[in-house]
Amino acid sequence: MTRRRRLAGPRTLAPLLHERVATAWNGSGWARALLLRRIAAGLLVGLAAVLALSPQAGSETRTEVVVAVRDLAPGAVLDATAVTLRTLPQDAIPDGARRSVDGVVGRLLAAPLRRGEPITDVRLAGAELARSATGDHDAVGVPLRLSDPDVAALLHPGATVDVVTLGERQQQPLVLATGATVLAVLDTATSAMDEGGLVLVALSPQAATRVAGASLSQPVTVTVR
């Protein structure tokens, strides 16, 4: 009877990884030190790969924007000494931030600013502020010097007012515009001898023309709704 010989599969003579590690660790001090160096080198290579694939802190997008050099009060007219350019991370820049000093010099500030704060479109007196406050894309801002020096101190941004003046016979008030939104109180009188406070209101283009024309020759004031 022929005996079947069982054929064994090929067997590698190379030691397994854990066997090599165990041999090196249990060997001489030189072999153990070499093993530790190789493990450390492998960890450093892995760490370098992770850092290479991760976003770098220094590679974030940065942009120059206009910021206030010092604390500024509403009603201030911005000049070159009041603002400067500063580079900020993109995610720290608010919407509407101004990026040109020339674009803000000469503009009237409608809200207070802290030193280092970016200057945005809604901080400046103008159409952008009027549109933002009213939601009306046709709204414009109109500065009013009020005849009553105490009225401006009672107003605040967001208040709704009617603009009035004296009629032709100066007996009954004439309503120039209704439903105006106060955008900013730019100046308040400090005494009865001073001129009335300066306020900025948002109006439609037609009402703005009417109010601005009347204020050139007649005293105007507002009534609060």
Is the same domain home to 154 and 204? yes
Q: Confidence class of residue 56 from pLDDT cuts 50, 70 and 90? A: low
Residue 215 neighbours by CB under 8 Å, 6+ apart: 144, 145, 165
What pLDDT, on a 0 to 100 scale, did the predictor assign at position 191? Answer: 44
Report which of residues 3 and 130 the model is more confident about.
Answer: 130
pLDDT digits (tens, 9 = 90+) for 94-116: 999 999 999 999 998 888 899 99
Q: In this model, does residue 142 exceed pLDDT 50?
A: yes
Is the same domain home to 139 and 215? yes
CA nearest neighbour of 212 among 189, 168, 180: 180
Residue 2 neighbours by CB under 8 Å, 6+ apart: none
Report which of residues 14 and 100 the model is more confident about.
Answer: 100
Q: Which two tokens stand for residue 164?
A: 């009035």
- The answer to whether 156 and 179 have CB atoms below 8 angstroms apart is no
- CATH number, domain at 118? 3.90.1210.10
Is the same domain home to 95 and 130? no
| CA-CA-CA-CA torsion sign (168, 147, 173, 199) | positive
Residue 134 lies in a domain: yes
Domain holding 184, by residue range, is 125-225
Residue 197 lies in a domain: yes
- CATH number, domain at 161? 2.40.30
Residue 80 lies in a domain: yes
Domain limit, last residue, from 108, 124, 140: 124
> Integer distance in angstroms from the first to the last C-alpha of the chain?
118
Q: In this model, does residue 126 exceed pLDDT 90?
A: no
What pLDDT, on a 0 to 100 scale, did the predictor assign at position 60? Answer: 73
Q: Confidence class of residue 13 from pLDDT cuts 50, 70 and 90? A: very low
Is the same domain home to 114 and 188? no
Query: What average pLDDT does the segment 134-139 reach?
Result: 89
| CA-CA-CA-CA torsion sign (95, 99, 100, 105) | positive
Angle between helices 29-53 and 17-26 (to 10 degrees): 130
Is the same domain home to 222 and 155? yes
Q: Confidence class of residue 65 from pLDDT cuts 50, 70 and 90? A: very high
What pLDDT, on a 0 to 100 scale, did the predictor assign at position 153? Answer: 87
Is the same domain home to 183 and 107? no
Is the same domain home to 131 and 165? yes
pTM above 0.75, yes or no: no
pLDDT digits (tens, 9 = 90+) for 29-43: 666 666 667 777 878
What pLDDT, on a 0 to 100 scale, did the predictor assign at position 209? Answer: 93
Domain limit, last residue, from 109, 124, 139: 124
Q: In this model, does residue 171 exceed pLDDT 90?
A: no
Least confident of 21-30, 54-63, 94-103, 143-152: 21-30
Is the same domain home to 197 and 212? yes
Question: Which amino acid is residue 55, in one-letter code?
Answer: P
What pLDDT, on a 0 to 100 scale, did the predictor assign at position 201? Answer: 94
Residue with tokens 């100066």: 170
- The answer to whether 199 and 152 have CB atoms below 8 angstroms apart is yes
Domain limit, last residue, from 75, 98, 124: 124
For the chain, the domain total comes to 2
Q: Confidence class of residue 135 from pLDDT cuts 50, 70 and 90? A: confident
Half-sphere exposure (CA, 13 Å, Cβ side) for 206?
Answer: 2
pLDDT above 70 covers what percent of the chain?
74
Query: What average pLDDT does the segment 125-130 reach?
Result: 87
Is the same domain home to 170 and 182? yes
- The answer to whether 187 and 109 have CB atoms below 8 angstroms apart is no
Alpha-carbon span 222 to 200, nearest angstrom: 12
Alpha-carbon span 118 to 98, nearest angstrom: 8
Is the same domain home to 66 and 101? yes
**Helix (H), strand (E), coil (C) string for 192-215:** CCCCCCEEEEEECHHHHHHHHHHH
